[in-house]
């Protein structure tokens, strides 16, 4: 298919996005996608972390709780939050989450170099 006008391109993009949104909605309705780690069932998780990791928290509430964890949270609490997010990305697979965290750790020096470069 040859795209000759911007209008045609926009139409194709809009159709594709609509189709993707429908597919995502269908998967969510079927319950096939569940990436949220329910930390409320885990013993010893502080209440503020439970609230931070609540999938139903509004973006504003999440931002406030994240700022609080950043300011007052212990390294252990912050590490737990990172692990919970990795667990979500890894579909609750512990080995997958650890693999993601190791990959992130190996990327850290490169990110530092990029940040240093951007400051110059």
pLDDT given for residue 26 in this prediction: 64
Query: What are the tens digits of pLDDT across the range 42-65?
Result: 778 878 888 888 877 777 888 888
∠33-40-90 over CA atoms, to 5°?
Answer: 35
For the chain, give the percent of residues with pLDDT over 70. 88
Q: In angstroms, what CA-CA distances link 96 with 21, 66, 87, 93, 115?
A: 27, 24, 8, 5, 27
* Six-digit token string for 46: 């502080």
pLDDT in tens, 63-98: 888 888 888 888 888 888 888 888 888 888 899 999
Q: What pLDDT does 98 receive?
A: 93
Residues 103/89, Cβ–Cβ less than 8 Å: no
Q: What is the largest CA-CA distance in the chain?
A: 60
């Amino acid at each position: 298919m040859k795209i000759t006008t911007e209008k045609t391109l926009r139409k194709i993009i809009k159709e594709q996005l609509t189709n993707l949104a429908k597919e995502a909605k269908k998967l969510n309705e079927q319950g096939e996608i569940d990436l949220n780690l329910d930390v409320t069932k885990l013993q010893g998780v502080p209440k503020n972390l439970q609230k931070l990791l609540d999938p139903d928290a509004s973006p504003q509430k999440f931002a406030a709780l994240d700022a609080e964890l950043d300011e007052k949270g212990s390294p252990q609490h912050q590490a737990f939050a990172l692990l919970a997010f990795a667990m979500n990305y890894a579909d609750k697979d512990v080995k997958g989450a650890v693999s993601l965290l190791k990959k992130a750790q190996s990327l850290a020096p490169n990110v530092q170099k990029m940040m240093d470069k951007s400051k110059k």
